Amino acid sequence: MRLKDRVAIITGGAKGIGAETARTFASEGARVTVWDVTGEAPGPGIAFRAVDVTKTDAVQTAIDEVVKAHGRIDVLVNNAGILRDAQLVKVKDGEVVGQMGDAEFDAVISVNLRGVFVCTRAVAPVMIRQGSGRILNASSVVGLYGNFGQTNYVATKAAVIGMTKVWARELGPKGITVNAVAPGFIGTEMVRQMPEKILATMVERTPVRRLGEPRDIALAYVYLASDDASFVNGTVLSVDGGVVVGT
């Protein structure tokens, strides 16, 4: 029970890695609230609220509700994120046949980057008043190495690493640690629906020769949220099986 009675918020927690993180936190004794734009609580004893993390007022209202219910917030996991993949410019037979549009770029920036900023800005004063807290940000292996067709997504995940390091410096003296987790290829329900050829390529690029499981990431979050990681601050924990990414 490494998180016994800790009050945790997990964004994007209705499914995938977020849902598994919520269930794992709850099993470790945390009082968990999940935020997502749609969905429901991913397990018993987990609270759910519909929250758009890009909306400042909605986030602040949801923060106030958690504080009113529990009196504190110990952990924020900034997990919410979306994909809108496209090549910057796609060329075929010497002609431009496609490109990443403004809407695709802006949508990913809004959720994956602005959302992390909005939620962290809202929770920080609560943690500062407490003199303690853990802020955990979802980056990605592609934020470290880049990836074909993901200009927008990679930009957000690299920027999250930068913000993590800034906030670690700013909030560390207040008793708050800020860290990021960079997952590799994780076998979420969405990923496992991909064509077998693509899945095989993912496994081939991963030296441990398997896809990660959502629980692999959830356990990394548990460690960083626990007292075991009290001296870990401003780091990026890669949970990727030693993956090698590229074109």
pLDDT at 31 over 70: yes
Mean pLDDT of 133-141: 97
Tokens 């927690």: give the residue: 13
Predicted pLDDT of residue 246: 59
Predicted pLDDT of residue 192: 87
pLDDT at 17 over 80: yes
Residue 74's contacts (CB-CB under 8 Å, 6 or more residues apart) are 6, 7, 8, 30, 127, 130, 132, 133, 134, 225
The answer to whether 223 is a known catalytic residue is no
Length of the chain equals 247
pLDDT at 141 over 90: yes
Cβ contact 18:218 at 8 Å: no
**Band of residue 191 on the pLDDT scale cut at 50, 70, 90:** confident
Condensed to tens digits (0 to 9), the pLDDT of residues 88-115 reads 999 999 999 999 999 999 999 999 999 9
> What global pTM score does this model have?
0.95
- Rounded CA-CA distance 50/58 in Å is 9
Mean pLDDT of 167-183: 98
Q: Hey, what domains does the chain have and what are their CATH numbers?
A: 7-239 (3.40.50.720)
From the candidates 145, 153, 221, 223, give the one annotated as an active-site residue: 153
Mean pLDDT of 201-206: 91
